[in-house]
Amino acid sequence: MRRMFEHGDLKFVVLALIAEQPRHGYEIIKEIEHRAGGAYAPSPGVIYPLLTMLEEMGFAELTASDGAKKLYAASEQGRDELASNKRGVEALFERIASVGESFSSGRSPQLLRAMENLKLALRLRIERGPLSDDNLQRVTAAIDGAAQAIERT
C-alpha cells in the first residue's frame, strides 16, 4: 500500500485547510479523516508541530488562542505559497478523495480480511485431501448462503 503523503505533502494539505477557514489542530485532523473516508487520520504528534512550523515559516498565523487551543489561519504568504503550488495541492486533495472513495466503496480492511480468510480456509481444506460428497455439499451450501446474504445487503 502506498503512503498517504510523501515528504512535505501534509504541509500543503494543512495549509490549504486553514486557507479555507481558520481551524484548530483537532479540526484539521478530523477534516483530513473525513475527506479520506476514515481511511487515514494524521496524529496530533504530526499536526501540532506542523502548525508551529507553518507559523514559523510565515505561512500560518494564530488568530485566536484559548489556553492550549489555538486557531490557525493561512497568512498572505501562505496563500501565495498555495497559489504557486496549486497543481500539486489539487493532486493531493484528489488523492485523499480517491482513498476516501475506495475505502468507503467496500475496500475496507475488514472486508479484505474476511475475503482473505475465506480463501485461506478453502485452500487449507482442499490441501487436506478430497472432500466427501457430504462435506462438499456443506461447503458449497455455506458459500452459496454467504453469497445470497451479501446480495441481500
Range of the domain at 137: 109-152
Q: How many CA atoms lie within 13 A of 13 on its CB side?
A: 29
Q: Are residues 21 and 69 in the same domain?
A: yes
For 102-143, give the secondary structure using H, E and C. Answer: HHHCCCCHHHHHHHHHHHHHHHHHHHCCCCCHHHHHHHHHHH
pLDDT tens, position by position, 56-79: 999 999 988 777 789 999 999 999
Q: What's the CA gap between 81 and 14, in Å, rounded?
A: 12
CATH number at residue 37: 1.10.10.10
Q: What's the CA gap between 146 and 52, in Å, rounded?
A: 51
Q: Are residues 23 and 93 in the same domain?
A: yes
How long is the chain? 153
Q: Is residue 1's pLDDT more than 60?
A: no
Total domains in the fold of the chain: 2
Q: Is residue 93's pLDDT more than 60?
A: yes
Cut 0.95: pTM above it: no
Q: Are residues 96 and 114 in the same domain?
A: no
Q: What's the CA gap between 140 and 23, in Å, rounded?
A: 54
Q: Is residue 103's pLDDT more than 80?
A: no
Q: Are residues 72 and 126 in the same domain?
A: no
Q: What share of the chain is helix, strand, coil (3-state, %, to 5)?
A: 65, 10, 25
Q: Is residue 112's pLDDT more than 80?
A: no
